[in-house]
Structure 1
Amino acid sequence: MEKKYSVAIYPSQDVIVAIKTLKDYLETKIGWYNSKNSTAHITICEFTIDDSQIEIYKQKVFRICDTFTPFPVYLDHFGSYENSGAFFIAPNEDSKNNLKPIMKKTHEVLKPLKLKKSEDPHLSIGRRLTPENLKIASQLFTTIAIDFLCCEIVLRELDPVKRQFFVIDTFSFGSNPQAELVQGSLF
């Protein structure tokens, strides 16, 4: 059976709680909106495949995560994508430069799949907001300074009834940069 999956970076639990508070506050001003109930995350990619194939890709993500080393992520400003109505929290330049290779290498190991990729790391507050609601959000939220240790990637599956992703696996960073370069020999 085909299922939709998402690969993402979750911040720490205290950041998840803080983002939920922001989302709840925005709802009091504009009403319900897309991403309102979504757990705070930085999307790497989404794809749809037959669930019988997911184990193959879990192994690929596990192997690539073993090569990553944990690093701090600093989210220090708000931004928006006017064309998609997205309002988000963005990482500082150093954090963005650390996140992009993680995203790119993950895209590469999942290359055989038809990926909906995220190229620009950000943590969405709301999506598909009207121009008016984008303006309200940008007036409500002007400064932010939160951080977390990026030390794992999560694999999520879409619940078609709730229309929300839920975590089905977590891949910790192994700080083993040689793992993807080592190739054994029988002779």
Structure 2
Amino acid sequence: MEKYSLAIRPSDEIVFKVKQVKSLLREESRTFFRSQNSEAHISIFEYEVGERQGRVIANTFSRLVPSLRPFVINYKGFNHFQNGDYYTFYIQLNALASNIIREYASIIKKECRFSLKNRCSIPHMSVGRHLNQNQLNIAYGLFKSFEQTDFCNSFVLRKFNPLRKQYDIIANMPLLGTDNSKGQLNLFS
């Protein structure tokens, strides 16, 4: 079984800024946290399937994603989720972009016959996961705002690399706003 993720990769500029945020949080908290080495992204779905099923899902994505329209994402500061005694500190998105991402996820999930774990009920870009209370306090002390605008014109398909313990991008799927239902582009034949 292989682990995959459909996600949004922000611009190189934003990836760089998020890397700096993670690095400073790691330095100041002096403690490892989950996601500290992960490249900036917004998760849409995750799934675990065999290689053949992985190709079928990838081809479904490659047919559906081009029919979606590009859109603007405004990043609007920091927030967090709580899960038991731990927290996820993240960069939040504006409401319009969040709604578009959820709508696109719904369209894709409806067309895909495999089980996809929805990771975008509240679309966000994680800075650190599994933070303790002290790390969360440090994060809020360090970072007051994150105001950036990005243009999302593609989704990326990522595959988990067990050697690096990170996801690698294996395909970039453009959002074109076109009807691609008549012919399917097979990226993974």
Calculate the TM-score normalised by the size of structure 1: 0.89
Structure 2 gaps of 5+ residues are: 184-189
* CA positional deviation for 1:111: 4.2
What pairs up with 1:49-60 in 2 under 5 angstroms? 49-60=49-60
Between the two proteins, the alignment pairs up a number of residues equal to 179
Match in the other structure for 2:165: 163
Match in the other structure for 1:33: 33
Q: CA RMSD in A?
A: 1.6
> Which string of whole-angstrom CA distances, capped at 9 and with x for unpartnered residues, describes residues 75-131 of structure 1?
012110022510000111122122221222233333422x22111100000001112
Match in the other structure for 2:117: 116
Name the CA distance, whole Å, in 1 between partners of 2:108 and 2:136: 31
Letter in 1 for 2:73: V
Q: Which moved more, 1:33-42 or 1:97-106?
A: 97-106
Name the CA distance, whole Å, in 1 between partners of 2:72 and 2:113: 27
Match in the other structure for 2:20: 21
Match in the other structure for 1:174: 176
> Which string of whole-angstrom CA distances, capped at 9 and with x for unpartnered residues, describes residues 138-158 of structure 1?
221111101211111111111
Name the CA distance, whole Å, in 1 between partners of 2:68 and 2:154: 9
Q: Which moved more, 1:38-47 or 1:131-140?
A: 131-140
Structure 1 gaps of 5+ residues are: none
Match in the other structure for 2:66: 66
Name the CA distance, whole Å, in 2 between partners of 1:9 and 1:108: 19
Match in the other structure for 2:8: 9
Q: Percent identity?
A: 27
Match in the other structure for 1:143: 145
Calculate the TM-score normalised by the size of structure 2: 0.89
